[in-house]
């Protein structure tokens, strides 16, 4: 069941289904402040972009926290974070980056890691707020496309013969 879930998590279809089910879930389970802080560290370590502040990462953590209102997801996140702590002698999130990454690498095939990675992937890279930092220009319709804004501005290659 878990294997099926994390495989499916890689498709946007599954993402939608998951988002819908979160909305149904009520907050019977809630991650602690310490757990959400560790999750923030984890999401940043999975997709580190130093030029980004915490805001887009916190948005991902909020989504994961919402998902953790579901008992089985709460259990998976809690035990995953606990395993990271145990692997690093108590407090994974306060270790230096190489130590944290080493512990994450050992976890990278677990449903816990794969779920957090998949949610981070869509949560971050579908978020228009981070696109300028990564060099992606996003929607162009409101600006009339690129016909007069550099669709052919590669000047370092010769013009194709027609």
Partner 1 sequence: MSTFDKTDDSVVVVIGSGAGGGTVAHELCEKGIKVVVLEAGPRLTIDDFHNDELAAYLQLTWLDKRIATGDWPAATLAPNAPNWIVKAVGGSTVHWNGISLRAQPHEFQAGTIYGNVEGATVADWPVTYDELDPYYSRAEDKMGVTGTHGIERHPANNNYKVLYNGAKRIGYSQISNARQAINSEFRDGRSACVQLGFCNQGCKMGAKWSTLYSEIPKAEETGNLDLRTGCMVLNIEHDASGKVTGVVYVDGDGNQQRQSARVVCVAGNSIETPRLLMNSASSLFPDGLANSSGEVGRNYTHHTGGITFGEFEKPVNMNRGITVPGAVFDEARHDPTRGFAGGYLMEAVSVGMMNFAVVGDPAGWGRDYTAYLGKYAHMAGVLLVGEDMPRAQNGVTLHDTERDQHGLPVPVVNVETHDNDIAMTDHFKGQADALLRAAGATSTRHVITVPATHNMGTCRMSDDASKGVVNSFGQTHDVKNLFVSDGSQFVTATTENPTLTIVALALRQADYIARQMTAKAL
Q: Which of 1, 24, 26, 147 binds partner 1 (CB under 8 A)?
A: 147
Residue 126 lies near partner 1 (rule: CB under 8 A): yes
The residue among 1 and 12 lying less far from partner 1, judged by its C-beta, is: 12
Exposure class string for 128-162: b at 16+ Cβ within 10 A, else e: eebeeeeeeeeeeeeeeeeeeeeeeeeeeeeeeee
Helix ranges (DSSP H) in the chain = 2-8, 12-24, 33-46, 54-67, 71-87, 97-107, 111-125, 131-134
Provide the mask over 89-118, with x wherever binding to partner 1 is found by CB under 8 A and - wherever it is not: ------------x--x---x-----x--x-
Which residues within the stretch 15-74 sit at the binding site for partner 1 (CB under 8 A)?
A: 16, 45-49
Q: How far is the CB of 162 from partner 1 (least distance, A)?
A: 7
The residue among 41 and 117 lying less far from partner 1, judged by its C-beta, is: 117
DSSP secondary structure letter of residue 142: G
Q: How far is the CB of 30 from partner 1 (least distance, A)?
A: 26
Structure tokens at 56: 């887009």
Distance, CA of 162 to CA of 151 (rounded, Å) = 17
Where on the chain is the footprint of partner 1 (CB under 8 A)? 4, 7-8, 10-14, 16, 45-49, 101, 104, 108, 114, 117, 121-122, 124-126, 128, 131, 134-141, 144-147, 149-154, 156-160, 162
């Amino acid at each position: 069941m878990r294997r099926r879930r994390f495989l499916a998590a890689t498709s946007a279809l599954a993402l939608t289904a998951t988002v819908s089910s979160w909305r149904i879930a009520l907050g019977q389970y809630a991650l602690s402040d310490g757990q959400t802080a560790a999750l923030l560290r984890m999401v940043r370590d999975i997709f580190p972009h130093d030029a980004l502040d915490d805001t887009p990462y916190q948005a991902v953590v909020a989504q994961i926290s919402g998902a953790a209102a579901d008992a089985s997801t709460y259990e998976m996140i809690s035990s995953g974070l606990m395993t990271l702590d145990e692997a690093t002698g108590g407090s994974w999130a306060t270790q230096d980056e190489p130590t944290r990454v080493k512990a994450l690498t050992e976890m990278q095939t677990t449903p816990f890691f794969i779920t957090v990675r998949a949610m981070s992937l869509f949560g971050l890279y579908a978020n228009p707020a981070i696109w300028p930092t990564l060099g992606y220009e996003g929607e162009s319709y409101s600006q009339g496309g690129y016909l007069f804004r550099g669709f052919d501005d590669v000047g370092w290659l010769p013009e194709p013969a027609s």
